[in-house]
Amino acid sequence: MRYNNPIIKGFYPDPSICKVDGTYYLVCSSFQYFPGVPLFESKDLINWRQIGHCLTRKSQIQLGTVNSSGGVFAPTIRYNNGRFYMITTNDTTRQNFYIWTDNIYGEWSEPIYVDQGGIDPDLYFEDGKTFFMSNGTDDNGIGGIVQCEIDIETGGKLTPSRSVWQGSGGRYLESPHLFKVYGRYYLLAAEGGTEYGHMVTYARGDSPSGPFEAYPKNPVLTNRNLGGYELQGVGHGDLIQDHEGNWWLFHLGFRQIGRWLPYHHLGREVFLTPVTFGEDGWFTAGDKGTSLTSFETDRIFNTVIQQEKKIFTFENTDWNLDWCYLRHPVAEQYLLELDKAKLKGTEVTLDVPASPTFIGIRQKDFYVTISCDVSLTNGEAGITLYMDEHHHYDLAIRKDENGYKVIERLNIGDIKSIENEVDLGSENHATLVIRASPERYSFFTHADGKDILLGTAHTKYLSSEVAGGFTGVIIGLYAYGEDSLAEFSKFKCEYV
């Protein structure tokens, strides 16, 4: 069969995967968004269904003062002796911790902290021992992939932290994962930074603690030399063996907006690339060490059909799964129903690293039409295309002393400008429409049976190359103003 990448679209970076009783489970980073760490399941590696989040309570993760692209970094999911573990980092507080559950569809535990620094933590279980790894500096001041043995019940260190591998020479060595395959131990990592030079590298050894010998042809997977190719930034992988004994890499990557336009705004997404072990015990990945936007493979049965949801509405999404908040929401500000949302505004705007009245859904593809009916009493309410507090485009209804207006506002770094407005007079409601292509967003209000264009804006100013950070565009509904009460209905995101 032929499958297309990415297999999970939109801002779902740093994938990690495990397999239990014929079902695959996958987690991703969430940074400053709440609930934290989206959790997916699949039976065939291709079609994924979100089943929850790992961090659902304020007591599990401190996000109140987290800057954009701070908070929850690179989780790992593992299973041992009937229990699931998710280990991650709060990069803002510089703490590594893990939580656990005996029911993948239920709640997860309170955090258990590990006294080892770095980011991108990993757990490996063998013979009653638990090995903890992260990138960083060991107890002797040596940098690299750092490992110690811990007590899984308490998180306490049982051995000193020791640097076990320094990588293949690329910058920003990170994302360690340890596996035992065919009697050897394989240490997977990422190098080059989660940018255009990103890559997957690995080494192998005869014990969980090394010494590790680097793969002679590192990197095993990278798209760093494919200029003009849509899929870039390939790296940060996790290895899995399927039901038939085949091996795969789940990894992140991103799609740039045009062949010669090196910008990406959808965020880092989830990609799947086949892996093959050779007779010498080394493995190769992808098409001559690169990942593709589609793979033809006989490893997956032809009866598997890749499904893709094209229309997202209030009615066919789940507020608790598909939608997210900025940091910790105040529950009283949201009344979320089957076919509408009522949001109560505050004096917290989208322009500060706090928790405004905001609920959003990830933009999943380049071509999309977003529409929603919005009404309000006072203040401002509408749709935002949100990258961070300094980079977002807003299409909203706003009340001032002269009545109501639809406004188009662009926020790019220090430049914040209302580009256009349409006077509504005493009408306090409007249909807002945004049409997206790879290079541009176009903003409309719909009235008298026609769309009125307010303006357009480049997508690249919401890209990671301009804004910085590690997230992607979120399509947000928001309200602002102490006495503002807004109602949103007939919401639709329709992808081409």
Beta partners for 450?
Answer: 447
Neighbours of 415 (CB within 10 A): 9
Rounded Cα–Cα distance for residues 420 and 443 (Å): 10
Rounded Cα–Cα distance for residues 475 and 138 (Å): 41
Rounded Cα–Cα distance for residues 158 and 155 (Å): 9
Out of 91, 120, 174, 487, pick the active-site residue.
Answer: 174
Decide if 174 is catalytic.
yes
Query: What is the bridge-based pairing of β-strands 334-336 and 36-42?
Result: unpaired
Enumerate residues 6+ apart whose C-beta is below 8 A from 93: 62
Decide if 14 is catalytic.
yes
Active site residues: 14, 174
